[in-house]
Structure 1
Amino acid sequence: MLNDLAEKFERSSRAYADANHIERDADWFLLKLQEEMGELTQAWNRVSGRGRRKGRSDDELARDLADETADVLGHILLFAHRNGLDLSAAIKRKWLFQAE
């Protein structure tokens, strides 16, 4: 399941990079993940009352938080895909999940 999702993110990211003339080198994947974590933190600060709402409604803030969380997930999967990491195996190993 994670591999299929990672492939979808990869196709989308590659198309975006091509359209915007962005070189996705080895560093780009980690730097982009860091950027997205900053945006998620900013969204959380707004939701939790630690940041300016910028006129956003509660529903808009919740949507922003979900959107930024999706971006972080996507960039984690892109990073893992780029580096040949088996996240499914790592999750089972680190979180002590039983084979399903």
Structure 2
Amino acid sequence: MLRRLADQFEIASSVHVAANNIERDADWFLLKLQEEMGELTQAWNRLTGRGRAKGRSPEDIKRDLADETADVLGHLLLFARHNDLDLAAAIERKWLFRPAEVAKS
């Protein structure tokens, strides 16, 4: 399940980087994840009144938070895929459940 999702993010990312002439070297995956975490933090700060709203409504900011969370998830999966990490096995070890079984229920 996670691998299929990572593959879908890879397809979308490959199209984006090709269209924008971006080179994805080994560092790019971690640096991009860090960039997206910064954007998620910025959205959180806006939502919680710790940052400027820049004229955006609370609903828009909440949508921004969801969008940035999706970006973090996508880039985390891209990072794991690029580094051939078995996230399902790691989740089993660290969180003590099987992601595939949760997806079926």
Instruction: State the TM-score, normalizing by the size of structure 2.
Output: 0.92
Q: 2:4 and 2:69 mapped to 1: Cα distance?
A: 19
Q: 1:23 and 1:31 mapped to 2: Cα distance?
A: 12
Number of residue pairs aligned between Structure 1 and Structure 2: 100
Q: 1:55 and 1:76 mapped to 2: Cα distance?
A: 30
Root-mean-square deviation (Å): 1.1
Instruction: State the TM-score, normalizing by the size of structure 1.
Output: 0.96
Structure 1: give runs of 5+ residues left out of the alignment: none
Structure 2: give runs of 5+ residues left out of the alignment: none
Structure 1 match to 2:25:
25
Identity percentage of aligned residues: 73
Runs of 4+ in 1 over 2 A off after TM superposition: none
Please show how residues 1-100 of structure 1 align to structure 2 within 5 Å. 1-97=1-97, 100=101
Q: 1:50 and 1:19 mapped to 2: Cα distance?
A: 35
Deviation at 1:2, TM superposition (A): 0.7
